[in-house]
A and B are shown apart, each in its own frame.
Chain A
Amino acid sequence: MKQFLAFIRKEFFHVFRDRRTLLIMFGLPVAQIVLFGFALTSEVKDITLTVIDQSGDVNTQQLISKIKSSSYFVVNESTRDYNRIADDFKKGRAKCALIFPARFGDDLQHGGKVQLQIITDGSDPNTAKTVVNYITAITTAYQQQVSPSQRLPFVIIPETRMLYNEEGNGSLNFIPGVMALVLMIVCTALTSVSVVREKELGTMEILLVSPFKPLMVLIAKAIPYLILSLANFILILVLAVFVLDVAIKGSIILLFLESMLFIITCLSLGLLISNTTNSQQTALLLSMMGMMIPTMIFTGFMFPLENMPKVFQVISNLIPSRWYFLIVKAVMLKGLGFSYVWKETLVMLGMTVAALTIALKNFKTRLS
């Protein structure tokens, strides 16, 4: 036991004295959160909009000021010059143009058909669609406001609600994804590299020759990273709650335990990698390429799994982070209890046991 503690202490020394490790350990989650939270958000904000107002009446003015008052658009001053559109699009001054035809207000007042043209930048189809939806929503609301009596009996206006995320906070979906990604990278890469470093240094020879049990070497190596990863997990949660305003709806204890299980899965994978190679570079490459990319693609937080070909959907079942992602979404965002995630938990547990067994079995108590 004393040996075990000495080993763990030594492992902590390694981590805290190596700036690179610390940076990966604690810089990565912060960077990921900032990146996904602010830079890579799928929400549309501050879209530049050019208005061509060929009517210039009260109604167009009102509608324009409605659009201006929403946080989605920055409206360029309106003009009657149709050529401005092409110019603004080319120079990047507008992502979207709104054209009111002449006599827009008159037609509206007199119950006739009103037309309104929206031109968007199709090179970014996602944003374009969102923009069209926003403007349609604003104009519909306006229409009801000016002429509620004119509502035709057959017009159905859907009122949508986004369940679990009423405010449309884009951070919600990726938080579980970032958690899966960061824990995966940190646990797998750092564990495998730290074992392989001992092989490269030649210290593994001494460790093996010592009376300390070889399996204990692996376990003692993994424990510091388990502790650090849990600290990491807490860091991500704190960032999520206080920086990105994500509320944790479910049980924190359940979330913590599920995360611990996932961390152990990743540690086992890290140990598995360290068994197969003798160079730190290979270990790092294997953990990064072999773990990070599948995690990003097959977890479901960047690319919806439902849209993937069947083969990929089957493959995605083999990726531990996919299950962890589902669990975190259910517990953290939906506030569901263990009875809703026990199946996913069981899958993850099975994977952990398998990976750990193989890792421990393959660990060589001798050199090659």
Chain B
Amino acid sequence: MSAVVLDHITKTYDDGKVVAVDDVSLQVAEGELFGLIGPDGAGKTSLFRILTTLLLPDKGSATVRGYDCVKDFKAIRSRIGYMPGKFSLYQDLTVKENLDFFATLFGSSIEENYDLIRDIYEQIKPFNDRRAGKLSGGMKQKLALCCALIHKPEVLFLDEPTTGVDVVSRKEFWAMLKSLKQQGITIVVSTPYMDEAMRCERIALIQGGKIMSVDTPDNIIAQFPVTLYAIKADDIYRLLTALRNEPAIDSSYAFGEYIHITLRNGSDIDTLRQQMEEKGHAHVAAKAIRPGIEDSFIRLMNQA
């Protein structure tokens, strides 16, 4: 049985004028760490709200652990943990008070499932008496995760937990998710950061309310249809402008210090490099590389 099933889900707002989710189908297996990868406005939050029974879909059906998201919403509500996109704890309550409150609300207590939250909670325990509003971004996020876990949910929904959080805290957060997964909790997480996709077992790339691809990150990358090259020179912006006017180039996107390019049929990277050097670009270097999720995402976006 799949932990989460979405079957041709469509959700619109403003009397159908805005299509947030457009005929989405996917399945998340038991115990899987599943990522919804896409920019803001792609429809990630709407999907989460449908699965957490907060929104009704216009069309299609969805189930969580076999329970229907519309009919059996009560059964679902007691089995899931949910961390909404915005930091949603009481800023004027302390760490301990927040935790106690949510534990009681979900009919549990801090002690009851302490094993589950121990690793995370001990990091914020020194700040037990501090008000949640005074915590740093990373700590707020840990507290929110504790609150979502406190009743030992079967499925955990995390909507953009790492947005606005710095690189260090983000790394820690993903490490925590990995250890939760090992305890058998199914996790559905969304993120706008493409680099985080690699940390999920399977991902769905979502853009404009549509799923562009669902697979393991490695498979998605393997499906990249052509060879991808990385090219750089001293003046990267000049190089980028030059490449855009080059007929041999199919696509060119800046990626850090490199520009990732794909070539049209019959073109050759060595010829291109020479051409660029002849045009006065200094220290041109080019190599074939393995694409990343972001490369795949861009390619799929442009195909759509």
Q: Do chains A and B touch in the complex (CB under 8 A)?
A: yes
Q: Which of B74-109 contact A (CB under 8 A)?
A: 74, 77-78, 80, 82, 84-93, 97, 100-102, 104-107
Q: Are B104 and A209 neighbours in the complex by a CB distance under 8 Å? A: no
Nearest-CB distance from A1 to chain B (Å)? 11
A55 to B101: give the CA distance in the assembly, Å: 84
A14 to B132: give the CA distance in the assembly, Å: 13
Name which of A2-10, A58-66, A117-125, A134-142 contacts chain B: A2-10
Q: Which residue of A lies closest to B83 (CB)?
A: A206
Nearest-CB distance from A352 to chain B (Å)? 28
> Among the listed A13, A202, A210, which residue makes an inter-chain contact with B105, where contact means beta carbons less than 8 Å apart?
A210
Is B56 part of the binding interface, using a Cβ–Cβ cutoff of 8 Å?
Answer: yes
A233 to B143: give the CA distance in the assembly, Å: 39
On chain A, the residues within 8 Å of B86 by CB distance are: 201-202
Q: Which residue of B lies closest to A197 (CB)?
A: B90
Is A147 part of the binding interface, using a Cβ–Cβ cutoff of 8 Å?
Answer: no
On chain B, the residues within 8 Å of A210 by CB distance are: 77, 102, 105-106
A233 to B259: give the CA distance in the assembly, Å: 71
A211 to B107: give the CA distance in the assembly, Å: 8
Is A18 part of the binding interface, using a Cβ–Cβ cutoff of 8 Å?
Answer: yes
On chain B, the residues within 8 Å of A13 by CB distance are: 90, 92-93, 97
Is A368 part of the binding interface, using a Cβ–Cβ cutoff of 8 Å?
Answer: yes
Nearest-CB distance from B142 to chain A (Å)? 16
On chain B, the residues within 8 Å of A14 by CB distance are: 90, 92-93
Is B207 part of the binding interface, using a Cβ–Cβ cutoff of 8 Å?
Answer: no
Q: Are A206 and B84 neighbours in the complex by a CB distance under 8 Å? A: yes
Is B175 part of the binding interface, using a Cβ–Cβ cutoff of 8 Å?
Answer: no
Nearest-CB distance from A74 to chain B (Å)? 52
Is B54 part of the binding interface, using a Cβ–Cβ cutoff of 8 Å?
Answer: yes
> Among the listed A2, A9, A207, A368, which residue makes an inter-chain contact with B55, where contact means beta carbons less than 8 Å apart?
A368
Write out, one digit per residue, whether chain A residues 189-231 have a CB within 8 A of any chain B CB (1) or not (0): 0000000000001110111111110000000000000000000
On chain B, the residues within 8 Å of A211 by CB distance are: 74, 77-78, 106-107
Write out, one digit per residue, whether chain B residues 142-180 have a CB within 8 A of any chain A CB (1) or not (0): 000001100000000000000000000000000000000
Is A366 part of the binding interface, using a Cβ–Cβ cutoff of 8 Å?
Answer: yes
Tell me whether A212 and B85 are in contact in the complex, defined as CB-CB below 8 angstroms, given that A13-B92, A366-B55, A367-B49 are known contacts: no
Q: Are B97 and A206 neighbours in the complex by a CB distance under 8 Å? A: no
Is B52 part of the binding interface, using a Cβ–Cβ cutoff of 8 Å?
Answer: yes
Is B53 part of the binding interface, using a Cβ–Cβ cutoff of 8 Å?
Answer: yes
Nearest-CB distance from B23 to chain A (Å)? 21
On chain B, the residues within 8 Å of A18 by CB distance are: 92
> Among the listed A2, A3, A203, A209, which residue makes an inter-chain contact with B53, where contact means beta carbons less than 8 Å apart?
A209
Q: For this complex, into which size category does the number of interface residues on chain A fall? A: 20 to 34
The interface on chain B, measured as residues whose beta carbon lies within 8 A of the other chain's beta carbons, has a size of 32
Q: Are B102 and A206 neighbours in the complex by a CB distance under 8 Å? A: yes
Q: Are B80 and A10 neighbours in the complex by a CB distance under 8 Å? A: no
Is A17 part of the binding interface, using a Cβ–Cβ cutoff of 8 Å?
Answer: yes
A45 to B175: give the CA distance in the assembly, Å: 77
> Among the listed B82, B92, B101, which residue makes an inter-chain contact with A17, where contact means beta carbons less than 8 Å apart?
B92
On chain A, the residues within 8 Å of B100 by CB distance are: 6
Nearest-CB distance from A165 to chain B (Å)? 46
On chain A, the residues within 8 Å of B73 by CB distance are: 365
On chain A, the residues within 8 Å of B55 by CB distance are: 366-368
Known: A202-B88, A209-B80, A212-B105. 20 other contacts (CB 8 A): A2-B104, A3-B105, A6-B101, A14-B90, A17-B92, A201-B90, A202-B85, A202-B87, A203-B90, A205-B49, A205-B52, A206-B82, A208-B54, A209-B53, A210-B77, A210-B102, A210-B106, A212-B106, A365-B73, A367-B55
Interface residues of B (CB under 8 A from A): 49, 52-56, 73-74, 77-78, 80, 82, 84-93, 97, 100-102, 104-107, 147-148
Interface residues of A (CB under 8 A from B): 2-3, 6-7, 9-10, 13-14, 17-18, 201-203, 205-212, 365-368
Can you name 26 A-B pairs with beta carbons within 8 Å?
A2-B104, A2-B107, A3-B107, A6-B100, A6-B101, A6-B105, A7-B101, A9-B101, A10-B90, A10-B101, A17-B92, A201-B86, A202-B87, A202-B88, A203-B90, A205-B82, A205-B84, A206-B82, A206-B88, A206-B148, A207-B105, A208-B77, A209-B77, A209-B80, A210-B106, A212-B106
